[in-house]
Amino acid sequence: MWIVRLALRRPYTFMVMAILIAILGGLSIVTTPTDIFPYINIPMVGVIWTFVNGYDMRWRSDKRALYSYDLATLAAAVIFFGRFVVQRWLYDQDHTGWLAFARIAMGYPLTAVALIITVWAVTRAGHRQRDLQQVKVAQQETDAEIEARLRAKYSEPATES
């Protein structure tokens, strides 16, 4: 209550303070660096899946796995943004009956679509990583094979020319 009495006794002080707050607030908005929300070029579905399962981030170097996770992230973002836009519009228009219907119709079915796309992307990327790992293991020589190859190479007598 004391602030109201102070504002009534000193109206110019309050107007100057309000203008000063508006100017400094606008200045801070303009000059604040934009790295508060940095640009992340990693598909969040892949990052979350890697974090939950404790895998490494090798999928980032494989273009097909990266593309799969990109698609899953894009599908989830489009579905959830679409739900937000429709439900927000219905809420702003005060159509509570349609809002309830939209929440039910766009809730579980669209979440299931996002989940199906995510499962597809994760299994596709997982199979791709497993196949690449098997090829890498098949191409690796064992210590015995390396030793035999080196013995054969260096046990031959050198030819003089």
What's the 3-state SS for the chain?
A: CHHHHHHHHCHHHHHHHHHHHHHHHHHHHHHCCHHHCCCCCCCHHHHHHHHHHCCCCHHHHCHHHHHHHHHHHHHHHHHHHHHHHHHHHHHHCCCHHHHHHHHHHHHHHHHHHHHHHHHHHHHHHHHHHHHHHHHHHHHCCCHHHHHHHHHHHHHCCCCCC
Q: For residues 139 and 124, what is the distance between their CA atoms, to the nearest angstrom? A: 23
What residue ranges do the domains of the chain occupy? 1-39, 41-152
Segments of the chain with pLDDT less than 50: none
Give residue 11's pLDDT: 85
Give residue 158's pLDDT: 58
Give residue 131's pLDDT: 77
Q: For residues 154 and 159, what is the distance between their CA atoms, to the nearest angstrom? A: 12
Task: Report the candidate in 26, 24, 50 with the shortest Cα–Cα distance to residue 129.
Answer: 50
